[in-house]
Amino acid sequence: MAEADHLRLDKFLCFARIVKSRRQAQALAEQGHLRVGGRRVERAHLPVRVGDVLTFAMRGSVRILKVEALPVRRGPPTEARMLYSEMPKGR
């Protein structure tokens, strides 16, 4: 089976352990608190691809993440951490 070139935003956030559940990921997206490639997101089903940059506020700070790989499951934290890289703020 060929690997998919995209994954739903809510699944990526959950599988990468950015949030604890898909419901939290959906709320983050639907409330307009998230940007993909600088564009505001209001849909949890937006496709995310390798190379996309996600920007969002969480726990009092802004996080900027670059998608490095797409997961096939919600794995352990060490595996999840390999799916994205933190980008410096103020670019």
The pLDDT, as a whole number, for residue 90 is: 65
Residues sharing a CB contact under 8 Å with residue 27, sequence separation 6 or more, in sequence order: none
Edge-first strand order for the sheet with 53-58 is 39-41, 34-36, 53-58, 61-67, 84-86
H or E segment and range at residue 20: none
CATH code for the structural domain at 7-86: 3.10.290.10
**What are the pLDDT digits (tens) for 12-69?**
999 999 999 999 999 988 888 899 999 999 899 999 999 999 999 888 889 999 999 9
Domain boundaries, the chain: 7-86
Specify the pTM: 0.88
Q: How far apart are CA 80 and CA 2, in angstroms?
A: 21
Contact 22, 14 (CB under 8 A): yes
- The residue that leads in pLDDT, 90 or 77, is 77
Q: How far apart are CA 66 and CA 4, in angstroms?
A: 18
